[in-house]
Structure 1
Amino acid sequence: MVTVYAVSDSIGETAELVAKASANQFRTNIQVKRVPYIKSAEDVNEFINSVEDPENSAVISTLVLVEVREFLVQRCIEKGINIINILGPCVSTISRMTGKQPDYTPGAVWKMDDEYYRKIEAMEFAMQYDDSKNLSGIKHADVVLVGLSRTSKTPLCMYLANKGIKALNIPLMPEIPMPQELLEIDKKKIFGLKIDPMQLIEIRKHRLSKMKSSYKEIEYANAERVLDELDYAEKIMRRLRCKTIDVTQRAIEDTALIIMKSIGYTSDKK
């Protein structure tokens, strides 16, 4: 088995994301392991000595400390381990373009600045107002998601929160009237999540299989019930005149990108 090590002098999330994105391009079993906080020659040696199968191993590194990065390259070459450093060439290129020397600060992408605190605030907002817990948050939200149960509203809110976007979700059910607050905000903030009925039924059946048997009598995954809910949701979305997104077989990241583009979000937005 091929093993890709995501090596970092910080928490290693950037390296791991690149490693997983690369591994997912191949229809074979590739193991990705995160190796965080490699900040010294001793850390490098400890890591290298832990690699069990050097010939079938590769390192994707985001080390920024030059001396540690160069030592890691040296040790990998000695052991016959393939290595790619993805930050080194990028930092060097930007340095040449700007005429400035980089700070070489490990974990700089995760620094606790204003953007970091906006993300924390957005996450707290998403949890506080999740699933209509408190409708007073509607007027303060950057994004309001409406949709049926199991259309990924909550995880989508949390993903958006990680971008510093205050998002809340309103579950649509025929038995519960639509909050009138939705008619009082800019419709450009509202996004209706639509889904294929067959996929929704399968998702709900899977959900029921994880519950206690006493819950299995409800019509949660009943085809007729699901179609009624979909019809109700369609009427609500038409009334709101909001943008709709079909989340059938769509990744949360893809749906979030559509929303962010629609609201004009940029990574440096203050």
Structure 2
Amino acid sequence: MNSQPIVLHLVSEATGQTLEAVVRACGAQFPESSFVQRSWNLVRSQIQVGRVLAGIAAEPGPVLSSLTTPVLRDALRTGCHRMGVHVENILDSTIYFLERETGRRAERHPGGQYVMDDEYRRRIDAMQYVIGHDDGQRAKSLEDADVILVGVSRTSKTPTCFYLANRGVRAANVPLVQDVPLPAGLLEYRGTVVGLMIDPHTLVEIRRSRVGMMLPGRKFARRRISDESMRPYVDPTRVEEELVWARRLCARHGWPVIDVTHRSVEETAAAIIDMIAHPPLRRMENGTALKK
């Protein structure tokens, strides 16, 4: 294992999200290495490149760039070479590949993916939709949803919906509560409904942590959790029964389920987007595809 973390400079003309996503994905493949990121975003002039180079000189380390403007790319590369620092532009290989395939030259427009076009407006609309249809709100008017997520309390329905909204998906979520009838809007919905499931032991810990955060003081929190009103919410036996009931409910309605126990929100959202894209097939958590 490296004794010292590697200082990694990320230089971008836009928000830096592309670089951060690449480093997050690739860095995870080097668990024995430690990286310290220094982000330089919205770099759009040679003066700003000079400031970046000064920062690199003060804290030397390899450079990953997503600069598209040739003069800025050249200035950064020249400065790094003078310092003996390695620099790599993560967009070059893909841009060259697309230029060969299209037979056209890339425009090299900084932040080209961040434009207020139809896709941008769709994401904003989806975000507003999620806010208005979170946790069972407006459950009578779900016909405009691209997908509806259902599940018992604390199965990551809300964060998954917000991540989907950032991908332009209008997602609503409806909590499943025993002895509470399903809203008519959910039963009448003819689009994709996905149930989110989780390991009961994990859910108990999440709920206990949540209750502890909501109540002042650990001692007080433990006392309140033992009260009759809180006991079913965190009782392992009751939680397991609740999950079995929810799973059977989804099976009865033909709703596919995703186990989120060991999934990140991003992975769950990716699986849901795949289900929306292929509506004739509903993928169950065990990988079996069922005709709808």
Same fold, TM exceeding 0.5?
yes
Shift of 1:88: 2.1
Specify the alignment match of 2:269 in structure 1.
256
Q: Deviations over 1:176-196 (max 9, x none)?
A: 22112222122x510011111
Specify the alignment match of 2:192 in structure 1.
189
Specify the alignment match of 1:230 in structure 2.
243
Q: Deviations over 1:190-239 (max 9, x none)?
A: 00111110111121122223222466422222212212321321232123
**Letter aligned with residue 197 of structure 1:** P
4-13 vs 214-223, which moves further: 214-223
Distance 1:87 1:240 in 2: 46
Distance 2:163 2:20 in 1: 18
Q: Deviations over 1:86-120 (max 9, x none)?
A: 11222222223222222211111111100000000
Shift of 1:74: 0.9
- The answer to whether structure 1 residue 166 and structure 2 residue 170 are counterparts is yes
Shift of 1:175: 4.2
Q: Among residues 35, 59, 68, which one is paired with 1:53 in the alignment?
A: 59
Q: Among residues 37, 41, 57, which one is paired with 1:36 in the alignment?
A: 41
The answer (yes or no) to whether the contact 1:19–1:32 under 8 Å persists in 2 is no
Distance 2:169 2:27 in 1: 30
Distance 1:6 1:204 in 2: 38
Q: Among residues 252, 256, 267, which one is paired with 1:243 in the alignment?
A: 256
- Normalising to structure 2: TM-score of the pair? 0.85
**Letter aligned with residue 34 of structure 2:** N
- Normalising to structure 1: TM-score of the pair? 0.91
Any residues of structure 2 matched to 1:99-248 within 5 Å, and which? Answer: 99-186=103-190, 189-213=192-216, 216-217=224-225, 218-219=230-231, 220-248=233-261
Structure 2, unaligned runs of 5 or more: 279-292
Distance 1:74 1:6 in 2: 16
The answer (yes or no) to whether the contact 1:16–1:33 under 8 Å persists in 2 is no
- The answer to whether structure 1 residue 16 and structure 2 residue 29 are counterparts is no
Give the number of equivalent residue pairs: 262
The answer (yes or no) to whether the contact 1:130–1:169 under 8 Å persists in 2 is yes
Shift of 1:242: 0.7
**Letter aligned with residue 64 of structure 1:** T
Q: What is the alpha-carbon root mean square deviation over aligned residues?
A: 1.6
The answer (yes or no) to whether the contact 2:151–2:176 under 8 Å persists in 1 is yes
Distance 2:13 2:141 in 1: 39
Identity percentage over the alignment?
36
The answer (yes or no) to whether the contact 1:59–1:83 under 8 Å persists in 2 is yes
Distance 1:228 1:93 in 2: 54
Give 3-state SS (helix, strand or coil) of 1:263's partner.
helix
Give 3-state SS (helix, strand or coil) of 2:108's partner.
coil
Distance 1:111 1:98 in 2: 22
The answer (yes or no) to whether the contact 1:182–1:240 under 8 Å persists in 2 is no
Q: Deviations over 1:144-186 (max 9, x none)?
A: 0000111110111011111111001011111422112222122
Give 3-state SS (helix, strand or coil) of 1:92's partner.
helix
Q: After TM superposition, what 4+ stretches of structure 1 lie above 4 angstroms from structure 2?
A: none
The answer (yes or no) to whether the contact 1:41–1:71 under 8 Å persists in 2 is yes
Give 3-state SS (helix, strand or coil) of 2:126's partner.
helix
The answer (yes or no) to whether the contact 1:142–1:165 under 8 Å persists in 2 is yes
Structure 1, unaligned runs of 5 or more: 266-270
The answer (yes or no) to whether the contact 2:165–2:171 under 8 Å persists in 1 is yes
Give 3-state SS (helix, strand or coil) of 1:146's partner.
strand
The answer (yes or no) to whether the contact 2:140–2:184 under 8 Å persists in 1 is no
Give 3-state SS (helix, strand or coil) of 2:127's partner.
helix
